Amino acid sequence: MTGNRPDGPDLAVALDALEFDAVRWTDAAAQLRAAAAAAAGQVLAASAFSFAGGQVATAYEGLRSRTAALLRDGADNLDAIAVALRAGAAAYAAREAMESQRLHSVDGEEPR
C-alpha cells in the first residue's frame, strides 16, 4: 500500500526486495557454516607441535575451536536476519490484505 496515511508517512514496501535480501542473508549464512565446518575439521594432534611445545598446541586448539564457534554463531545470526526479513514481509502482506478487505467492506468495491 502506498499513499498518505493519517497515522503515518507514505510507505511503500517492496516485498520482492525483502525476499531477495533474505535469500542473500541465507546464502551468507551457508558460507559461514561451510567455513565453520572447515575450521572444525582442522584438528591437529599435539604431536604436530612437538617442535614448539605444548603451549603452542593448546593455543592453536583454542584459536581453532573459537573460530569455528564464532563462524557458527555468525551463521545463526545471519539466518535470524533472514527470518526477520521474511516475517516483516509476511506481516506487511497480511496487514495490506486486511486493510484492502476493510476498504472493500466500506465502499463495496472489489479490493484493488
The whole-number pLDDT of residue 1 equals: 46
Plot region of 67 (φ>0 → left; ψ -120 to 50 → alpha; else → beta):
alpha
The whole-number pLDDT of residue 10 equals: 41
The parent domain of residue 52 ranges over 16-102
The confidence band for 20, taking pLDDT boundaries of 50, 70 and 90, is: very high
What residues does 8 pair with on adjacent strands? Answer: 5
In a domain, 98, yes or no: yes
In a domain, 108, yes or no: no
In a domain, 96, yes or no: yes
**What's the mean pLDDT when you consider all of the chain?**
86
| Number of domains observed in the structure of the chain | 1
In a domain, 26, yes or no: yes
In a domain, 4, yes or no: no
- The per-residue DSSP string of 41-55 comes to T----GGGGTTT-HH
Encode pLDDT of 23-59 as tens digits: 999 999 999 999 999 999 999 999 999 989 889 999 9
In a domain, 77, yes or no: yes
In a domain, 8, yes or no: no
